[in-house]
Chains A and B, each alone.
Chain A
């Protein structure tokens, strides 16, 4: 693990990604403590205060400090996206592995059904699920997990099928290795790498999807300082206070870029054959 991090820090993408994510982790851990104001601290005299010494990122329509709201909102946005991605990956991995293991007709039926479900755009599926369960952060996370599961199932299946056919697995069988040894020492390390890379990049999508759901009014609910919700709240004040949109928008983009960079760095480290 330490070795992996060291290698990762040596690739330019990995180092940049790690740096951004460290900052984010710090914001999640200490955000409310280091925020200069309370996230709900209303100051009517300081409404629409432009960015400056008093409010680094400006103030919103109620005079609330945008930076403080961003720092507090990190706790709602980032962990939710992480949890949703992990749940979706797990669900997809179970379906994909089962499909590859069963093989034959069952594999065909499961995969065709997965393909069919993927015909529904991810955002639409998430919208439908979140509406059935009701608005809110938790339900938005479940919706994102549901939207990710089919894609992850497809990837897991194809990776598992390839790993089973590799020569080194055949060689291990010929050496007379035990079944568990083959699965855990020969197959699993080679299956995990592509899934880890894909999952990392998916977290970026999850952050954006969660923010989009909040933006459409279905994720986090006011007065939470979720980043997508902050953009939605700021839209009527586009003219007076553009910083109200730029700051949370940049925070979402930075988070997504961090996870994308980390994913690309991981790909380089875990799969040295690929020169691209």
Chain B
């Protein structure tokens, strides 16, 4: 990994955020909402509205408004929420932290299930376990999160009373209770990814097991276990890293739905509330932070790829 590659990659993240900021700003400008009316209510006098518009700079040309917004962003100022009157930045970042807890647990669960599942499916190709894994993955990619979430809620919380239905408990206040509340949302968002990634592990593994170096390792007389884990699995998992990073996009989308169903005060729920209330600064900040999270996740995946595969040199 050369410094030049690093600089280029950082430049790309910057470009990504610039494009996203332009897009999000354009969309929020086009939203049928008047910030002054949102703030003062429908019954405000025309004079008061005009004064507020002047104060907010709503009469400026659009490019100038964008510039004011962007330069404030660069100073770390995301603006003031129209709904709560609080700064949007801290509000969104603490919501993001709660969402990342769900996302991180979902990723961990997904890897713990998908990798062994794909491995076994590849080794017993065509066997009953392979067919079962295939069936599960068809179901996984065909069920939208709002259906899986609601059905899991119906089964595990409502019917069997194993788990609390909805709500969020901070991790530090009561770790056990917090985790109990997170089981259903984490299960829901990880199902799609398990389906996706286990198929990927399976097909990569089948390819790798037919490769020359695995044959060579077998012919050398290495124990089957060594060949499987040291030679085959390691190489099969490399492309999986990229897929997982791309799946972060689905994960973030899924989190929006899951937070809505299970009443978790994360960034997805904040965004939905912001969209409903036409809270423009909150929409802008939330969308930008989500896109930034995705860009950073892919950046980290590239680094992990390079660290694990010495043949890859980014320059």
Residues of A within 8 A of B (CB): 112-113, 115-124, 127-129, 131-132, 134, 204, 208-209, 211-212, 215-216, 228, 231-232, 235, 238-239, 242, 245-246, 249, 252-254, 256-257, 260-261, 276
Closest to A276 in B: B203
- Is B171 close to A, CB under 8 A? no
Q: Contact: A239 with B147, CB < 8 Å?
A: no
How many residues of chain B have a CB within 8 Å of chain A? 46
Q: Contact: B257 with A216, CB < 8 Å?
A: yes
- Is B142 close to A, CB under 8 A? yes
Residues on B with C-beta less than 8 A from A208 are 142-144
Q: A128–B276 Cα gap in the complex (Å)?
A: 11
- Is B77 close to A, CB under 8 A? no
- Secondary structure of the A side of the interface? helix
Number of A-B residue pairs at CB separation under 8 A:
127
Residues of B within 8 A of A (CB): 12, 15-16, 18-20, 23-24, 27, 30-32, 138-139, 141-147, 150-151, 153-154, 158, 203, 206, 249-250, 252-254, 256-257, 260, 271-272, 275, 283, 287, 290-292, 294-295
Q: A216–B269 Cα gap in the complex (Å)?
A: 11
Closest to B202 in A: A276
Q: Contact: A132 with B31, CB < 8 Å?
A: yes
Closest to A204 in B: B142
Q: A215–B149 Cα gap in the complex (Å)?
A: 12
Q: How many whole Å from A237's CB to the nearest CB in chain B?
A: 11
Q: How many whole Å from A35's CB to the nearest CB in chain B?
A: 22
Q: With A231-B146, A276-B203, A276-B206 in contact, is A260–B16 under 8 Å at CB? A: no
Q: Contact: B150 with A216, CB < 8 Å?
A: no
Q: With A128-B287, A238-B158, A239-B158 in contact, is A113–B256 under 8 Å at CB? A: no
Q: A231-B150, A260-B141 are in contact. List 16 more A-B contacts (CB 8 A).
A: A121-B250, A121-B294, A123-B257, A128-B27, A132-B30, A208-B143, A211-B144, A212-B146, A215-B146, A232-B146, A235-B150, A238-B150, A238-B158, A239-B158, A245-B147, A252-B143
Q: Which residue of the partner chain, among A117, A231, A232, contacts B23 with CB atoms under 8 Å? A: A117
Q: How many whole Å from A15's CB to the nearest CB in chain B?
A: 15
A-B residue pairs in contact (CB < 8 Å), sample of 6:
A119-B20, A127-B275, A132-B32, A208-B143, A211-B146, A238-B154
